[in-house]
Every structure is written in structure tokens, then in C-alpha cells.
Amino acid sequence: MTSKELSYVNDVLTQTQVIIKKYQDYSSQIQDSNLKNLCNEMAEKHKQCYNTIFTQLNS
């Protein structure tokens, strides 16, 4: 990978971590159980995405 590509991947991973944190924060503040579950599901999907990218980079 070029340094430009690695920089892009790093940005994607960083932004994905931010998104995960936001969904977790939203979930902790929401009272509605349906919305809370949705935020938790979205955080989990983004975690899976992050882990997939991270695993591919390390293989």
C-alpha cells in the first residue's frame, strides 16, 4: 500500500471509532428502548466493520 492509501485507511478507522463512540453515547442517553436498541445495533455493526478492516491490514 502507498502512504496515501494507508493514510486513507487510518482516517477510515479513526472515523469509525468516532461513530462507534457516538452511538454508544446516544444509547446511554436515550430512554426509548427501540431507539436504544437501534443505537446499540449500529455501534455493533460499525465495530464489525472496524474489526474487518483491521484484520485485513494485519494479515
pLDDT digits (tens, 9 = 90+) for 6-20: 899 999 999 999 999
Q: What is the mean pLDDT of residues 37-46?
A: 98
Check whether 33 has a pLDDT greater than 90.
yes
Residue 31: phi, psi to the nearest 5?
Answer: -90, -35
Nearest to 47 by CA among 25, 16, 26, 24: 16
Q: Which helix (H) or strand (E) holds 31?
A: none
Q: Where are the alpha helices (DSSP H) in the chain?
A: 3-29, 33-58
Q: What is the mean pLDDT of residues 32-55?
A: 96
pLDDT value, residue 1: 84
For residue 50, give its domain range: 3-58
5: amino acid identity, one letter:
E
Structural domain tally of the chain? 1
Q: Categorize the per-residue pLDDT at 57 as very low, low, confident or very high, splitting at 50, 70 and 90.
A: confident
